Amino acid sequence: MALFLGYRMMKEKQKHSLSAVDVMEAHREPAVDLDHLKLLELIGDGRYGNVFRGCLGERCVAVKVFGSAHRQNYVTERSAYFLLQHHDHIARFLSATERTASDGRPEFLILMEYYPHGCLSRYLSLHTVDWSTCCRMTHGVTRGLAFLHTELYRADQYKPAVAHRDVTSSNVLVRADLSCVLSDFGLSMRLTGSTPCCPGNDDTMAISEVGTVRYMAPEVLGGALNLRDCESALKQVDIYALGLLYWESFRRCSDLFPGEAVPEYQLAFQAELGNHPSLEEMQMLVCREKYRPRFPEAWKENSLVLRSLKETMEDCWDQDAEARLTAQCAEERLSDLTLLSTHTLHNHRSLGCRPPQVSSAS
Ligand code: ADP
Ligand code: MG
Ligand code: MG
């Protein structure tokens, strides 16, 4: 399956609108032989469908099953996978198909590679990670997001910039080698090309009001998303959530808690608002009080590593959306952090200095 939509074909279709179905037409995937597909175990009950571990002949696969009411999420996710395939940090898509469920209604299936560790939040709730693993996990997610956000032209192929719109630690999957991939593109939105989002159309509500409430940026919670520049605004919303994902991950990094117990895993704002924060609670905390997750006591020390790490998180979740890092810049920050060994963490103090190796440009 081609990585990009044929550029000439896209230009041709720009005269009309390039819908998800057009993208589908451009990439007829090999049909799945459903007779050989077996669903074995429910591994995720998401908002729009159930995810199963299954097997296709000898091969272990994950199958996301959308009920007929969620056909649009299926179409969106399938189209996103057609545009995004073959990146090392995007979940590996295998096939998509439709069939009739036992109640006679249609249901829609997306087949993916099976990731045995499941999602990042699950992994982190069960395991702590060392510095290099934590950097590799978060760097991978960031690389996936940077790829998603970038508009690319290669030869005669085109990949639009895409916003994820539901970046959370449940929508990142963990490979057996602990590298991470971005997944769950059911709410993703094309930002460039023939039908980018624009204010004032019927999609305006959807543009500003989707995602997981816990990870919603202050401008989304406050209904102040800048619809005049949707492309930047929606990327900035993804980056805000990425900052929270960094906080959740590095709180489980054993090297950042030398000589003491690593705190239990927590979702962002779980300590403040529990397991099911309401929209109103999130609006009050994040939008009005401008509250952000607290850094642990152990991170008070102003070592080079800790300063750089905290600064990176703060630069992702800045109240001012335009001041946030771009995904490319976050990727550079993470690369720089990866190079800093934990030896640096404990021995090299740089109180009052800007980190020398870490880019501060945004
Ligand atoms: P939803 O759109 O309903 O949130 P997701 O695609 O996020 O659905 O899947 C829900 C959960 O199922 C994920 O958080 C993860 O725990 C699990 N899951 C999804 N895809 C896979 C996969 N390919 N391998 C292993 N677990 C998966
Ligand atoms: Mg999900
Ligand atoms: Mg989803």
Mean pLDDT over each residue of the chain, to the nearest integer:
85
Mutate-to-test residue for ligand 1 from 184, 215, 245, highest number of ligand atoms within 8 A of CB: 184
Ligand 1 atom closest to Cα of residue 73 = 2
Q: Is residue 104 predicted with pLDDT exceeding 60? A: yes
Per-residue pLDDT reduced to its tens digit, 48-102: 789 999 999 889 999 999 999 999 999 999 999 998 878 999 999 999 999 998 8
| Residue 176, helix vs strand vs coil | coil
**Amino acid at site 216:** M
Helix 327-339 with 230-250: angle, nearest 10 deg: 30
Residue 202 confidence (pLDDT):
54
Residue 206 confidence (pLDDT):
67
Ligand 1 atom closest to Cα of residue 48 = 3
Closest CA to 126 of 88, 92, 169, 89: 169
Active site residue 166: yes
Name the pTM for this structure.
0.87
Q: Is residue 277 predicted with pLDDT exceeding 90? A: yes
Q: Is residue 256 predicted with pLDDT exceeding 50? A: yes
pLDDT > 90 fraction of the chain, expressed in percent and rounded: 70
* Residues listed for the chain: 362
Confidence of residue 155 (pLDDT cuts 50, 70, 90): confident
pLDDT > 70 fraction of the chain, expressed in percent and rounded: 81
Contact (CB, 8 A) for 320 and 294: no
Residue 112 confidence (pLDDT):
96
Per-residue pLDDT reduced to its tens digit, 299-353: 998 889 999 999 999 999 999 999 999 999 999 999 999 988 755 665 544 333 3
Task: Identify the residue whose C-alpha is closest to ligand 1 atom 6.
Answer: 184
Distance CA 186, CA 192 (A): 18
Cα(first)–Cα(last) distance of the chain, in Å?
Answer: 35
Distance CA 67, CA 74 (A): 9
Confidence of residue 133 (pLDDT cuts 50, 70, 90): very high
Those residues with Cβ within 8 angstroms of residue 254's Cβ, 6 or more apart along the chain or in another chain: 128, 129, 130, 262
Mutate-to-test residue for ligand 1 from 39, 43, 51, highest number of ligand atoms within 8 A of CB: 51
Residue 160 confidence (pLDDT):
95
Residue of 34 and 205 predicted with greater confidence: 34
Q: Which residue has the tokens 């952000």?
A: 292
Those residues with Cβ within 8 angstroms of residue 195's Cβ, 6 or more apart along the chain or in another chain: 17, 18, 19
Distance CA 99, CA 211 (A): 28
Which value does ipTM take for this structure? 0.99
Per-residue pLDDT reduced to its tens digit, 167-205: 999 999 999 999 999 999 999 999 998 766 655 555 555
Q: What is the mean pLDDT of residues 16-40?
A: 58
Contact (CB, 8 A) for 112 and 183: yes
Task: Identify the residue whose C-alpha is closest to ligand 1 atom 11.
Answer: 44
